[in-house]
Structure 1
């Protein structure tokens, strides 16, 4: 049976009584559905993390604006980091439960679906 595409799902309210952090095994099972994202453990908190190199500081802010629009529509908000002038890092986790939920994977999938190529630095062959 095929799994439902995460981009077609909607985040559930994080204050729901039924929402609980998932196990590392469950997170690893969903991870292939969000290519480019990595599992990260900080203390006892599992997070999804992804990084990009953007063309400029202002392109990083443009990327944040695109992500903000998705986050607002989903009612689920990631931690956004612009380090240096062109290194963007996004951490996603459900703060209210102190770990990962399906919401985090839904948001990651929707962020990954954004058209951001025009904001990113081109890879150079070294």
Structure 2
């Protein structure tokens, strides 16, 4: 199993799709903007992720079912349900193929800031 950190949506797509195709387990730590999010029947929360640095495709869809198992997870993921400007996030998940589409199965997600992103980038680039 590998953990890979991605700051770009295209990078996460390539990494995740290649891992699934080759049968490898890769956990993706993705920093992105949440352009929209909604909950379906109190079971699943859906996300649409956009790149940190631009607003055009590719976009990555994801779903999160663990939010209801903890008050903290509910709070963290619920912050993305409100209308307004897209918020940045740190998301941990695994890529899967859902029919003809690729999607991220989210294991955890919470709001991030540019300071968080710069800190992690500094660790990776050290």
Tell me if both proteins adopt one fold, taking TM over 0.5 as the criterion. no
Give the structure-1-normalised TM-score.
0.27
Q: Name the structure with the higher strand share.
A: 2
Q: Name the structure with the higher helix share.
A: 1
